[in-house]
Structures are given as C-alpha cells and as structure tokens.
Amino acid sequence: MELILHLDAEKPLQAQIFDQIRKLILDGRLAAGVALPPTRNLAMRHSVSRNTVSIAYDRLAAEGYVESRSTKGFFVSEILPDDLLRISSRPAPDNGPRPEDPPEAVLCFAGSPGGGDDRPALDFWVGRSAASAFPLPIWRRIVARLLDRESHYLTDYSDPAGLPELRRAIAEYLGRSRGVIASPDQIIVTSGGQEALNLVVELLRTRSERLAIETPCYVGASMVFRARDMEIDAVPVDGEGLQTDLLPESGRSLIYVTPSHQFPTGATLPLSRRLALLRWAEDTDSYIIEDDYDSDFRYDGPPLTALAGLDEGRRVFYIGTFSKSVGAGLRVGFAVVPRFHWSEARMLKARMSNGQSWLEQRALSEFLLDGHFDRHMRKLTKIYRARRNSLIAALTKRFGDVQLSGQESGLHLVWHLPPDFPCARDIQMRARERGVGVYALSSGAAYDFNPDAPDRTLVLGYSSLDAEQIVRAVDTLFDIISCSADGYAPIS
C-alpha cells in the first residue's frame, strides 16, 4: 500500500514516522490487519534511511500498534477499529463551566538525611540513583553561572505553579520522549511526585465519588487514598499490569495506575488494556492518575507512549518526577493537568505553597534546555542496563532458572520465589543480618490491599549498586537460602 507521510527535516524523523502512523491507526484510517509498506519502499518514498523507518516500525510493534509476521512484514494489530475511534474522537469531558482564570493577585510573584545511617552496606532499596553518576561538574557550572547573573531572584517569590522556563522545558521533553502533548501552562511543578499526587487527588476530590487503585501498589499512593473518607476499589494486577476487566462499574471514580512499569511488579500495560482503561474512564465519567515514576529507563526499546499521550488531554492526569533521573535531593516533580482544569490546579497549588526553590528549578531548566539532560539519560541508561544485566546474571548463576518480572525497564525488578524457598520476609530479615538489603512487598515500599497475598516476592532495586557489589550481595543470598541438612529454619 502507499503511505503518505509529511516529514519535517527539522524534527527527528523516527519520531515523526512513528507518530504519524500511530495516528493513522488510532483514527481508524489504517484498519486492523492492513500491511504497512516495506521499510525499503517507505524509505525510498520519503528519502530517508531504511534504518530510520525500521526503528519507527520496531517502536510501533513494541507498543502493540503493529505486529511483525516473520518475513511477511508488519501488519496493524487486531484491535477493533471502534475501540480506537472511541479513544481518538470522543469530546473532552464536560463537568460544568470552565473555571475563571485566577486573579493575578493570587499567583503574583514580585519580582534522617541521605536515608539514614542504618542502611545495609549492600542495599537493593528501590529507586535510589547512582550517586557517582550525578552530573556534578555540569551542575556546578550551571549553578555558578546563575548565581553570577541572576542571583537577585533568590530574594523573590517564584510562581507557585513553577518557573515558566522549567515548565516549557518539561513540556518539550514530554512531547518528544513520552508522546504527551501539553503546553507549559498545563504543567504544575511540585516538590517531588508525592506532592503532585496529593495535588491531583485534592483537585478532583469534589468530582469523584469513589477511589480505585491497582494492588499491589506504591505505598505512598495507598496512604493518600486511605486517608480519604471514600470507598476504595482495589483492582488486582497480573503479568500484564492492571486487570481492566475487573475495573469498578460505578461511575465518577478516580483511579491511580503505573501503566509503563507497574509498581512494584514491573509489568507493562499492553495497548489493548490501555485503550480499555481509557474507554472505562469515558464510559463511567471517571479520571485517571498516571504515575510515570521511572519510565525514562527502558532497556529493550524506546520509552513507551504514556497513557496521557493516548488520551490527548481529556481524563488522564500525568505525574512525573526528576528524582530517579537526576536526583531525589532536588525535590522536583510535576503534574500535567488537562487544559480544562489547569486554572483550578494553579489556584490549588498557590494555596499549598509559594513555589519551589528558584535555584533548583532554574538550574534544572538550563540542564534540560541545553541538552545536558538527554546526554545524562543516555549515560544513566547504559549504566543501569549493565547493572540490571549483572543482577540477572548473578541470580541465574546462583539459583538457575529464576522467575523475574519488570526487568525490561525502570530501576528495579521482582524475583518470584520458588515454593521450596523461605518466604520473602524471612529472607529479608536474614539478609539484613548479613548486611544485604532485599525487600518483601510488605516491607514498606509497596502495599497490597489483599491481606492474604502470598509472601513469595522480593523487590530488588539495582540502580545504586555496581557489578561487584551485586555479585557479592547475590552470593550472600545464596548462602542464606541454601538448604541445610535439616531444611529451612524460619525466623520466629
């Protein structure tokens, strides 16, 4: 078939090919089962390299829009066209009149540290960045330049919604890396992802009658939800993430999800379930909070299009953070709110605080806009991929055919223990005595709404340990788990 694309030489060609074919599929103009043009033909037709087209096709396949059929080529996946059309063509939700822009006076802006000393020496705690990889020389130069030229801003209040330069930089980054098209005024800068979550939940408090959350889930989200005097529907996850066929049937719900790298299991929500989740939100007049906490790190292909990128600014509130990519000490996160809600969100943020530190925001905006962040992410991805590989290799060498999940992306993976091993909590306690930190789901980072859930899962964050430390830690685990003549003796 002939496929006409409109490519701009000033923009990344791979992303343009991906975005335009993806839109043709979502709009129903490329029906299920239709073959895409051979990579050679499309490359010749548009005067681009065949490798550029191949990479775009591979990304479409990775996200589930197309499927490869051996030597026959790529074909549009068998997803019902009606499902796709309902996602792409539905109107924005109507929840009453758009709130008036906030008075300028409201938002005017006139001109134990380090995690404590009790951490194990070899700690697989989740989400810790590699301290040695922090871009200190570049950061020092940026900060010195800002203090030399713009230090007068240190005595001023900042816009509570975040510095305009940083919001613009975030919007540009999300557009090219996560498929989220948002204007800077839709972005609210917060003190990390947790404050962004609190902001969105409070914003939608009067528009929601029930809460829904995946289980097991991030403990911080469970704390926010359980603090509300509202009924909670806990939706189980499986190997493909949230089980969308078990979503609550009641209307006006607010659901929290981690679709790109489910926390803690690491599952990736496939396209069919993403579309089903968006349909559910539309059909039940509900909203979705998408926490994209560590999805910048994807080791087997490019980052997936975020759920908010599919939704196109209707019912998904997107939460992100720089804690994993740059450093948790910066305390910079953000929320992307649909345009219909942005004025109210800015008002709410102004009531919560007068904004974050000017220096960290301004330095981060320079770091993003000058291209340092992209180079830093390439460096980190290489480091974390090697550490993930070291962990998988060490576990396989010591324990054979281990059952893992979540290793395709993020900063942690999950080890599903065999039935003849001690329970996860027992291994955690024994390892702690030997200076190794491994974590059962019940250890604090995750929360399971099912009190009878089996304790057969260990969460291993590998980002802060080098290869030699990982091998030593796994060797210690092997010594702990190895069966003695008398069998295992669980800790009482």
Nearest to 312 by CA among 56, 36, 27: 27
Q: What is the structure's pLDDT at 453? A: 85
Domain 375-481 grouped into CATH 3.90.1150.10: yes
Residue 194 φ/ψ region, left for φ over 0, alpha for ψ in the -120 to 50 degree band, beta for the rest: alpha
Confidence of residue 130 (pLDDT cuts 50, 70, 90): confident
| Fold of the CATH domain 135-371 | Aspartate Aminotransferase; domain 2 (3.40.640)
Q: Percent of the chain, pLDDT > 70?
A: 89
Does the global pTM surpass 0.85? no
Torsion-angle region of 438 (φ positive above 0: left; ψ -120 to 50: alpha; else: beta): beta
Give me the CATH topology for the region 13-89: Arc Repressor Mutant, subunit A (1.10.10)
**409 bridge partner residues:** 298
Over residues 145-167, the pLDDT tens digits come to 999 998 888 878 888 999 999 99
- Out of 229-243, 247-261, 440-454, least confident range: 440-454
**Using DSSP, how many helices (H) and how many strands (E) does the chain show?**
16, 18
Measured from the Cβ of residue 435, the count of other Cβ atoms closer than 10 Å reads 14
The single residue listed with the structure tokens 């102004």 is 350
Q: How many CB atoms within 10 Å of residue 301?
A: 14
d(C-alpha 456, C-alpha 445), whole Å: 16
Domain chopping of the chain, boundaries? 13-89, 135-371, 375-481
